[in-house]
Amino acid sequence: MEHVLSLGGPSPTILGSFSTRWKQANDSISSLFFDRCHQGTQERHRPQASKFSIFACQTPAHNRRYSKKRFTHPQNTDLPPVLPKNKKKPYPIPLKQILQTSRADKKLAEMGIEKPLEPPKNGLLVPELIPVAYDVLDAWKILIKGLSQLLHVVPVHACSECSEVHVGQTGHHIQNCHGPNSADRRSFHLWVKGSIDDVLLPIESYHQYDPFGTRIKHDTRFDYDRIPAIVELCIQAGVELPQYPSRRRTQPIRMLGKKMIDRGGIVAAPKPQHSGDVLEFDTQRALERFPPPVDSDVVEIAQSTLNAYEKVRWGVTKLMRKYTVKACGYCPEVHVGPWGHNAKLCGEFKHQWRDGKHGWQDAIVDEVFPPNYVWHVRDPNGPPLKSSLKRFYGKAPIVVEICVQAGATVPNKYRPMMRLDIVVPDNEEARLVA
C-alpha cells in the first residue's frame, strides 16, 4: 500500500537527488561564465598581434562575404523610371518641408520680421562659385565642339516619329516606338540621320538683366532672349558676357514674407553687344562650324569631350545647390531665377485648367542638363539590337556612348548601367535563361 501511495507524488529521495544535481549544474555554469569573462578581460588588455600574422590580417568568413566593399560597384543599375505624362512630376523637396517653410515665413511676416536671406537668395553673388561658373562655361564650349567633331565620325540615328535616338552604324530593331501610326509599323522606328540637337537636348531659358526685377509676362516674352539654361545659370553665378549683361547688386534685397520691400529700384537693361562669339554657347549650325577631325585625333577628342561632359554635370550640380532654378511640373520648360515667368506656353496635361501657365517647382539636374539615355552597343559593326534580347542590353547617356564608341575609356560609374559584365546570349539560348 505504501508503494502504491509513493507513486502519487515525487519521492523525497528523487527530489533530493534532483536538487543536488541542479545545484551542481548552476555552480558549473557560473564558474564557466566567470572564467570566460576573465579570459575576455585578459584578451582585451593583451598587446595586439603583429600585422604580419596570417590570422590577424584575415577577417572572419561571414564578414568577408557580406562586407560593403562587395556592393560598391553593383553589377546592374536600373535607370530612373519614365514618368507618366498624365501626372505632375514629383517634388524634389518633400511637400511637408515646403509647407513648413512657408508657414515659418508667414509667421515672420505677421510679426513684421523680415525674411532672413543669404547669398544668392538676396541678390548677391557667391564668391566661391564664380570660378566654378567659368569652368562650367569653358567645359560647355569644349563639349559642343567635341560632339560636333565626333558626329562626323560616329553615326547617330533619330526616329522621325518619336524621341528615340540610337548610336551605331544602323538603327536598332527594338520595337518600342510610340509615335503616330506605330501600330502599323509594329512599333518599329523610322530612322533618320541625327543632329547635335538630338544629342544635347535644347533646354533654353529666358535671359533677364535683373532676375529679381519685373517678372516676364506673356505679352512681353519676345523682349527677352532665349539662351541655353546652362549659360544663363553661369551668367547669374558671376560670368560676365558682353552679349548678355547682368545686374550685379552691391546691396542685398529685402523681403517681408513673399513681398519685396527693397530691390534697389528698377534699372533698365543696357543694350547688348551681339557678336559672333554667341555661337560658341549654342549648338546652332555646330556641324558646319567644326570640320571632321583627323583619324589620329579622334580618341583624344573623345576623351576630352567625355571629361568636359563630366565637368559640366559636376558644375551644374554644384551651382544648383545655391542658385534657384525652376522647372514646370508638366512640360520641359526651365527658368533660371528666383521664380518662374508668366508666359502661357504650357500645352501638357490639363493646361486648360491653368490657362496655359506653367506649374513651377524646384528643378533637378536632369531637367537642366538631360542625360538622354540610349542603348549601349558593344559591337558597332555587329548585328542590330533585337527586342527579344533587350533585357540583356544596358544603357548609357548618349554623350558617354558616343565618346566610348569613338575610343574613350568607360568611366567606372557607368559600367553597371551599361551592363558590361553580362554576356548577351543568342536567341536560342535566351529561352534557357532563368
Locate cell 565642339: which residue? 145
Query: DSSP assignment, residue 244?
Result: B
Instruction: State the cell numbers at 169.
Output: 552604324
What does the longest C-alpha to C-alpha distance in the chain come to? 125
Q: Which of 37-51, 73-87, 235-249, 360-374 has the lowest mean pLDDT?
A: 37-51
Indicate the helix (H) or strand (E) that contains 120. none
Q: Which of 79-88, 114-123, 146-155, 303-312 has the lowest mean pLDDT?
A: 79-88
Query: DSSP assignment, residue 242?
Result: T
Give mean pLDDT, residues 81-95.
89
Q: Are the beta carbons of 119 and 272 closer than 8 angstroms?
A: no
Examine residue 380 and say whether the peptide bond preceding it is cis (omega within 30 degrees of 0).
no
Instruction: State the cell numbers at 55.
Output: 590570422
Q: Are the beta carbons of 178 and 215 closer than 8 angstroms?
A: no
Pick from 377, 374, 334, 380: nearest CA to 358: 334
CA 110 → CA 98, 105, 106, 176, 327, distances in Å? 18, 9, 6, 55, 30
**Res 274: pLDDT:** 66
Distance, CA of 313 to CA of 399 (rounded, Å): 12
Distance, CA of 110 to CA of 126 (rounded, Å): 30
Instruction: State the cell numbers at 334.
Output: 526651365
Tens-place pLDDT, residues 12-54: 444 444 445 545 545 554 554 445 545 544 444 444 444 333 3
For the chain, what's the residue count? 434
Strand order in the sheet with 191-193: 165-167, 156-159, 191-193
Residue 106 φ/ψ region, left for φ over 0, alpha for ψ in the -120 to 50 degree band, beta for the rest: alpha
**Res 326: pLDDT:** 96
What residues pair up with 375 in beta bridges, in sequence order? 395
Q: Is the pTM of this model over 0.75?
A: yes
**Res 63: pLDDT:** 44
Distance, CA of 408 to CA of 357 (rounded, Å): 43
**Res 82: pLDDT:** 84
Distance, CA of 204 to CA of 186 (rounded, Å): 35
User: For 69-129, where are the alpha helices, taking DSSP H only?
Assistant: 95-110
Distance, CA of 331 to CA of 16 (rounded, Å): 87
Backbone angles phi, psi at 177, to 5 degrees: -85, 130
User: For 66-212, where are the alpha helices, taking DSSP H only?
Assistant: 95-110, 130-150, 196-199
Tens-place pLDDT, residues 185-244: 999 999 999 999 999 999 999 999 999 988 999 999 999 999 999 999 999 999 999 889
Give the residue with greater pLDDT, 348 vs 77: 348
Q: 3-state DSSP call for residue 219?
A: coil
Q: What is the average pLDDT score of the chain?
A: 83
Separation of CA 396 from chain center: 13
Distance, CA of 422 to CA of 416 (rounded, Å): 10
Residue 357: count of CB within 10 angstroms of its CB: 17
Distance, CA of 214 to CA of 208 (rounded, Å): 9
**Res 425: pLDDT:** 82
CA 120 → CA 209, 296, 367, distances in Å? 15, 46, 21
Distance, CA of 103 to CA of 336 (rounded, Å): 25
